[in-house]
Structure 1
Amino acid sequence: MMRILLFLATNAAILVVISVVFRLLGIDGLLLESGGLDMNALLIMSAIIGFSGSLISLFLSKMMAKRGMGVQIIEQPSTPFERWLMETVARQSQAAGIKMPEVGIFDSPEPNAFATGWNRNDALVAVSTGLLQHMTKDEVEAVVGHEISHVANGDMVTLALIQGVVNTFVVFLARIIGHTVDRVVFKNEEGHGIAYFVVSIVAEILLSFLASMIVMWFSRYREFRADEGGARLSSRTQMANALRALQRVHQPHDLPAGEFAAFGISGNIGEGLKALFSSHPPLEKRIAALEQARD
């Protein structure tokens, strides 16, 4: 969850900056043609804005994760646990067919872990100090395998591409809505009035919420794949036990809504609208999927 939140936050900020720059430079005005919208130009501009936001976020993802989470990169192991962690990541990376990622630890009492990076051979895997406190080494090994699988599966790159497509349609539809309101409601026939800019910004924000459901669905789907990868790199029992350890640490009613544990998930995500905006499936479903695959 942490890597996804950082990615989405960076993407949103870049998207806003690029949109504002395009408006200040008058590029939006180029979309006018005989009093209407030039759909081809609009689509091209939307794609430039949309993919710029997601791709820049992807390239900044590792740096943002390091700064945002205060990750301390392990250059030379100074404790037995750090040495074991480095050896585990090295062994699993080789088994997964990827280059050894950077390995780091960040200070948090919660059992957390994440992986990020712009490609599978330039990644970062980080674990929290709370991970060792709440999990056995076998369970930590499964967690690391889960994160290595995210890297090997290219999940961050695929997420960036999906986000770019989603951004493109958000910008495209928001401009059409702004143009329509400006023309139909405010009867502005020459250029774009203030209503176009205000309405398109509001529409962009609202559409972004809806679009995020698509991104979150993709994220939930990839979590099952990462669990399978973690099971292959450790064992199915270790992966299931790691998920059960999260359930023990974070009971459904122990945490306020919005607080997340390892892999960015609390014990009980909930159903309905809340579940649609969750980046991870409920722990019980992930455990059930592992057990069913074993059968």
Structure 2
Amino acid sequence: MDFFTAQDNARRKTGRLVVLLVAAVIALIAMTTLAITIVVYFMSNHQGEVTADSLLAGLSPELVGAVAVGVVALVVTGGLYKRYQLRRGGGRVVAEALGGREIPPNTDNPSERRILNVVEEMAIASGMPVPPVYLLDETGINAFAAGFDTRDAVIGITQGAIDHLSRDELQGVVAHEFSHILHGDMRLNMRLISVLHGILLIGLLGYILLRSTAHRGRSVRSNNQNGKGAVVVLALGAALAVIGYSGTFFGNWIKAAVSRQREYLADASAVQYTRNPAGIGHALIKIGSHAQGARLEASQASEYSHLYFGQGMKLGFNRLLATHPPLNKRIRRVMPNWNGQFDAAFSAPAADDMASNAAPSAKGVAGPGVAQASAVMSGASAKAAIASMGQPGPRHLVEARSTLAKLPSRLRQAAQDPYAVRALMYGLLLSSDTHVRKRQLESLQQAALPDVYRAVMSLAGEVLMLKASLRLPLVELALPALKNLSTDQALHFRQCMKRLIEADGQVSLFEWTLYHWLVHHMGLASNDRGQGVRKLKDSQSECQVLLNVLASAGQDDLAEISAALNAAEQELPFALSAENSSSDIRALGQAVSRLRHLPPRQKPALLQAMARCIEHSGQIKPAEAELFRATADMLDCPVPPLLIE
């Protein structure tokens, strides 16, 4: 399944989820109305036999309407509150609720360094920013991805997984979780959490009524009238508790049904990414042979059960609520020749496997399709990268490992340090022109912290010598450390970047891309969620702005720019004006923000048009390739590295 089809399917599943939610709420309204009618019936001192006719006679439009409004208000308010809570913190909220702690990007713990290296490689191979990694102090072998999109995504991993899985097996597990991120499953899972929280509130209300009645036990015994009222409240609380938890049961059943099939797809994607069925297959075998399996002991583990790599909750007799397919079926799908035995011999990583915890070495990582310094990329490279969106292959992993090995160790360490990372980003914005750079540094010295400024001066020479093709991977690597900045630090960081960019009175394409990419992924951009879904045919002006900028990248010849636009418009449902080909970099931000709201199935045409702009001359320079990928990422279209074809 390609990236855009998967994204579109995830949106459709969200619509079906809303239908199922409406049906569940209607059922809850009916059951709650019946329960309250019975309570009102007895509270009215009705004498005589209780019959269906007498209960129906007690129903009134006012009662049904009041109950319906109350139930809907409770479910919607609870769901919206949970959604706000999750939206505010993204995947970090889930990781911290499960007792996770973020692994510092600059950790020197060998096992933690190993999992960070695996996540970094997979992120760069996928074309998305490196997500923060959280470690759960759990002995079970499990992992998860949480967040609404690549901006707030996190990867969670248990201590049991780190202790018992080899590097290849960790890579298979991480590839599985990246599939959930790239194919829209992660966002759907987060929405499921909000929906079920709203339904759960009815049961919680009943539980509160039961507790309040228990605290008034003496009054019940001493006063008949109060006693009768307490009994009624007790009955209402018990009814609401049963109704609420019944609703939760069916909500969990819906959650499990939605989740199971997606796990098969994510397993298949992990095999496709790594071309190593044994990696994920042996990880699943180890879960089966491990005493704790994949079970988590955190108090809130059940709320997030559909996010996990393995079945995180003990099922007992109730297989209907299984959020994951049986282990043996999952293993058979990726390893058809498996002998059916959960062999305990696979209980620990090989002794020499821990050697892979260090940063990847450049030795032995180059292979077919990996970009070399003297090589150039063609238009076929861009087309192949677009076709690989959401499904990077082994060649992309090799390229990612090679890229990480090429990064100067000093710069890589700075990217992983919460303090030095700011100096590194400032260094990337320094101009190669001596006079402009002098003005930039004078402006920065007035605004930056003294220690950060000294770090800029220390790193500047090495940053200025960095190859253009390594700049975006370095920034992707720096994102977890940048996300650890406090709100005040992040705002100050953004202000300092502005000063560096504005020092010469003009904005280059790289400056615009770096600034807006960081603002986008650090959550500092203005909220554009209210703009609604747009159609490509109605986005001519935005496409003109974006493609003008890309066509002008790396060249000034008007005839060449016009030729690039003519090539791009072959992919679009409208013409581009060659006469209106001036590059307006300052209008680009608003254009990209609006184009982000295109439906998934309409974005491929835009990406192909962007690719035409940068490859119309027959080759793509590394700098053009990275700028194309960064802009595409801001359109929520993570493009893997472009390879030599």
**TM over 0.5: same fold?**
yes
Report matched runs for 1:129-148 at 5 Å.
129-148=159-178
Q: Is the 8 A contact 1:54 1:161 kept in 2?
A: no
TM-score scaled by length of structure 1: 0.64
- CA distance in 1 between partners of 2:78 and 2:246 (Å): 16
1:230-259 deviation per Cα after TM superposition (whole angstroms, max 9, x unaligned): 222322221112111222224xxx77x987
Offset at residue 201 of structure 1 (A): 4.3
Within the candidate set 63, 70, 89, 2:119 is matched to 89
Q: Is the 8 A contact 1:74 1:104 kept in 2?
A: no
SS of structure 1 residue aligned to 2:160: helix
Q: Is the 8 A contact 1:269 1:281 kept in 2?
A: no
- CA distance in 2 between partners of 1:286 and 1:102 (Å): 28
Distance verdict in 2 for CA 1:44–1:238, change over 3 Å: same
Residue of structure 1 equivalent to 2:243: 203
The residue identity in structure 1 corresponding to 2:182 is A
1:241 aligns with 2:241: no
Q: Is the 8 A contact 2:146 2:190 kept in 1?
A: no
SS of structure 2 residue aligned to 1:118: coil
1:153 aligns with 2:194: no
Distance verdict in 2 for CA 1:144–1:283, change over 3 Å: same
Residue of structure 1 equivalent to 2:325: 281
SS of structure 2 residue aligned to 1:58: helix
SS of structure 1 residue aligned to 2:157: strand
Distance verdict in 2 for CA 1:217–1:68, change over 3 Å: same
Once structures 1 and 2 are overlaid, which stretch shifts more, 85-94 or 195-204? 195-204
1:129-183 deviation per Cα after TM superposition (whole angstroms, max 9, x unaligned): 33233221111111111222222233232123345556667889xx9xxxxxxxx
1:49 aligns with 2:98: no
Offset at residue 38 of structure 1 (A): 5.9
Within the candidate set 37, 49, 67, 2:65 is matched to 37
Residue of structure 2 equivalent to 1:222: 262
- CA distance in 1 between partners of 2:156 and 2:168 (Å): 17
- CA distance in 2 between partners of 1:84 and 1:274 (Å): 37
Q: Is the 8 A contact 1:50 1:166 kept in 2?
A: no
- CA distance in 1 between partners of 2:194 and 2:97 (Å): 24
The residue identity in structure 2 corresponding to 1:279 is T
1:193-214 deviation per Cα after TM superposition (whole angstroms, max 9, x unaligned): 8566663343122221222111
Distance verdict in 2 for CA 1:89–1:126, change over 3 Å: same
Report matched runs for 1:116-135 at 5 Å.
116-135=146-165
The residue identity in structure 2 corresponding to 1:45 is A
Offset at residue 101 of structure 1 (A): 0.5
Distance verdict in 2 for CA 1:247–1:274, change over 3 Å: same
Q: Highest Rg: 1 or 2?
A: 2
Residue of structure 1 equivalent to 2:309: 263
Offset at residue 41 of structure 1 (A): 4.4
- CA distance in 2 between partners of 1:57 and 1:196 (Å): 30
TM-score scaled by length of structure 2: 0.32
Report matched runs for 1:68-107 at 5 Å.
68-107=98-137
Distance verdict in 2 for CA 1:72–1:50, change over 3 Å: closer
SS of structure 2 residue aligned to 1:49: helix
- CA distance in 1 between partners of 2:127 and 2:136 (Å): 26
- CA distance in 1 between partners of 2:194 and 2:313 (Å): 31
Q: Is the 8 A contact 1:267 1:283 kept in 2?
A: no
SS of structure 2 residue aligned to 1:263: coil
The root-mean-square deviation of aligned C-alpha atoms, in Å, is 3.8
- CA distance in 2 between partners of 1:219 and 1:245 (Å): 22
SS of structure 1 residue aligned to 2:309: helix
Q: Is the 8 A contact 2:95 2:134 kept in 1?
A: no
- CA distance in 2 between partners of 1:147 and 1:120 (Å): 12
Residue of structure 2 equivalent to 1:231: 271
Q: Is the 8 A contact 2:140 2:161 kept in 1?
A: yes
Offset at residue 220 of structure 1 (A): 1.9
- CA distance in 2 between partners of 1:101 and 1:44 (Å): 36
1:69-103 deviation per Cα after TM superposition (whole angstroms, max 9, x unaligned): 23232221314443342232122123334321102
Offset at residue 66 of structure 1 (A): 2.4
Offset at residue 111 of structure 1 (A): 2.6
Distance verdict in 2 for CA 1:266–1:282, change over 3 Å: farther
- CA distance in 2 between partners of 1:167 and 1:107 (Å): 25
Question: Which of the two has greater strand per residue?
Answer: 1
Residue of structure 2 equivalent to 1:212: 252
Report matched runs for 1:16-35 at 5 Å.
34-35=62-63
Distance verdict in 2 for CA 1:228–1:202, change over 3 Å: same
SS of structure 1 residue aligned to 2:147: strand
Q: Is the 8 A contact 2:142 2:310 kept in 1?
A: yes
Offset at residue 287 of structure 1 (A): 0.9
Q: Is the 8 A contact 2:82 2:194 kept in 1?
A: yes
- CA distance in 1 between partners of 2:186 and 2:309 (Å): 14
Distance verdict in 2 for CA 1:208–1:266, change over 3 Å: closer
Distance verdict in 2 for CA 1:170–1:80, change over 3 Å: closer
Gap runs ≥5 in structure 1:
1-31, 176-192
- CA distance in 2 between partners of 1:168 and 1:128 (Å): 29
